Amino acid sequence: MSRPSVAVAIPAYNEAEGIGGFLVEIDAALAPHVSALRLVVVDDASTDGTSDVVQSTGGQLSAELDLSRNQVNLGHGPSLLIAYRRALSVQPDYVLQVDGDGQFLGADLRRLLVLLQDGAPAVSGVRRFRQDPWFRMVMTRLLRGYVRRSFGVAARDPNCPLRGYAAGLLGDLLTELSDRSLIPNLYITVLAARRGLALVEVDVSHRVRRGASAEGSTWGASRRSPIPWRLIEFSGRALVESRRFHAQLGRRPPS
């Protein structure tokens, strides 16, 4: 099997404590098996020196490092789309995606790549034995039911941030998404299914965030609710956006 070229799209926000080691782990898992590897990190206006850590880690990598920083905090979805498009710009054979919080293992990115090389057009991880706060796991279960009922797509972990695509397919799917999409991975799951290309799902390991706090700083804490208020507010906006996405799908036939 010939060795492919691969780009990894990695959105990150306030991950200075753990992202350096995670990039080294990804590099060690993938670089020996590919002809070219690029790690595309998009720092979403972090306040903890994430970009400095990523830049200083570059000298330890076999991969080429592509680091950009948003001038203002755009959120995970828009930052992920920037990372995807920067990854596609170098015309790799495959694009992998993982978040910068390091809750996955580099070895599992290699597993996804093997499935893509075996002919799967799109692959998604399924987080087993989740190492997340209880409310994140409950939301994933609710999301799974919502995607099945609203879009007719059966996916065990429809918004999992560990996945991979044949580059041509990903580029096609991204043309149907707004740059400001809040939950692009979920929409990509739905769009692929409408083309008869359901993501190949594979169980993957899940670990606590690489850093001092297992929760991280994305959602913050809430004094009024056991669930962070920013997460509640985001979920409401994502629900409204997903209903608009559903309506748009209804106005055009499947590809």
Residue 184: per-residue pLDDT: 97
Residue 252: per-residue pLDDT: 66
How far is Cα 100 from Cα 107, in angstroms, rounded to an integer?
15
Residue 42: per-residue pLDDT: 98
Decide if pLDDT at 253 tops 70.
no
Q: What is the pLDDT averaged over residues 81-95?
A: 98
Say which residue the tokens 């590809």 belong to. 255
Residue 76: burial class (beta carbons within 10 Å; 0-12, 13-18, 19+): buried
Decide if pLDDT at 217 tops 60.
no
* Domains of the chain with CATH codes: 5-250 (3.90.550.10)
Residue 226: per-residue pLDDT: 66
Q: What is the pLDDT averaged over residues 141-156?
A: 91
How far is Cα 47 from Cα 78, in angstroms, rounded to an integer?
18
Residue 224: per-residue pLDDT: 54
Residue 141: per-residue pLDDT: 84
Decide if pLDDT at 76 tops 80.
yes
Band (8; pLDDT cuts 50, 70, 90): very high
- The more confident residue out of 38 and 207 is 38
Radius of gyration of the chain (CA): 17
Residue 208: per-residue pLDDT: 87
**CA distances for 17 relative to 73, 83, 100, 103, 212, angstroms:** 19, 21, 11, 13, 7
Residue 128: per-residue pLDDT: 81
Decide if pLDDT at 137 tops 80.
no
Decide if pLDDT at 177 tops 70.
yes
Q: Encoding tokens for residue 239?
A: 């629900």
Band (142; pLDDT cuts 50, 70, 90): confident
**Could you give the percent of the chain with pLDDT greater than 90?**
75
Which amino acid does the sequence have at 235?
Answer: S
Residue 10: per-residue pLDDT: 98
Residue 204: burial class (beta carbons within 10 Å; 0-12, 13-18, 19+): buried
